[in-house]
Amino acid sequence: MSKPFEILHRSTAYDGFLKVVRYQLRHASFHGGWCEPVFRERLEKLSAVSVLPYDPVSDQVVLVEQFRVGTMDSPAGPWVLETIGGYRAPDETAEQVVRRELQEEAGLASGELAAVGGFYVSPGISSERIELYCARVDASGAGGIHGVPEEGEETRVIVLPVAEALDELFGRVNSTSTLILLQWLAANRERLRTDWGGAGKP
C-alpha cells in the first residue's frame, strides 16, 4: 500500500550536465501520522539504458573500457570495464538507445534484444533509472577504439569469453549494470544459446 508524502518546497540548486533539485518535504511515519519535514537534494533528468552484447556462437561478451570520473579514487584507477550504455532522450525508446550506443561505443550492429529489467541506481539521492538489455551480436570482428569525440567519449572494446568475464566480477568488473547483466547472462546463457541459435549469427 502506497504511503503519502508531501512536497513543501522545491528549488533548483544546479542545472548543468546534471540537475540537482533541493526539496523540503514530509512523509508518512511507520508510527502513524507524519514525520518531521526534511531537506533532501536529488539528481534529476536521468534515464539511461545499458546493454550487454553477447555472441551465442563464440560464447563471448563484448565490454568496453573507458574513463569514469566517479572512480578516480579507486586503487584500480578510473578506467572501468563495463557494459555499453547511454542516456535516453525524452523522445527515444530504450531499444533505439541500445542500437545507437552499440554502434557509437563498439561499432556493433544488434540482432535480437532480450529485455532484462530496470532498477533505480541510488534512490537515496537520484531519480536515475537504468533499463537493462542483452543484445545478440557477432563478436568476430569486434575491437578497436570508438566513442563520440564531441561528447568527450573514448571507449576501447574488450571481447571476453563468458567464463573469463564472470571471473572478473567484483574485480575489473565492478559497476552495477555490468554486475547485474553478467550474472543474468550466467543464469540465462543456455536458454539464449538455444533461442538465438548457437550455430547462427545475427
Interval 79-107: pLDDT, tens: 999 999 999 988 999 999 999 999 999 99
Per the domain annotation, does 85 fall within a domain?
yes
**Same structural domain for residues 59 and 34?**
no
For the chain, the domain total comes to 2
In tens, the pLDDT along 118-146 reads 999 999 999 999 999 999 999 998 999 99
| Domain that residue 28 falls in | 5-44
Per the domain annotation, does 182 fall within a domain?
yes
Outline where DSSP puts E strands in 16-165.
19-27, 38-44, 47-55, 60-67, 79-82, 84-87, 113-120, 129-136, 145-146, 155-161
Per the domain annotation, does 200 fall within a domain?
no
Q: Quick one: pLDDT at residue 201?
A: 41
- Residue 156: closest CA among 58, 81, 99, 98: 81
Active site residues: 151
In tens, the pLDDT along 33-83 reads 999 999 999 999 889 999 999 999 999 999 999 999 999 998 988 999 999
Confirm whether pTM is higher than 0.85. Answer: yes
**Same structural domain for residues 21 and 69?**
no
Residues 6+ apart with CB under 8 A from 5: 25, 26, 27, 28
In tens, the pLDDT along 156-178 reads 999 999 999 999 999 999 999 99
We report the CATH number of the domain holding residue 176 as 3.90.79.10
Please give the torsion angle defined by the CA atoms of residues 153, 45, 176 and 92, in that order, rounded to the nearest 10 degrees.
Answer: -70
**Same structural domain for residues 157 and 95?**
yes
**Same structural domain for residues 11 and 63?**
no
**Same structural domain for residues 93 and 133?**
yes
**Same structural domain for residues 16 and 111?**
no
Q: Quick one: pLDDT at residue 202?
A: 41
Per the domain annotation, does 110 fall within a domain?
yes
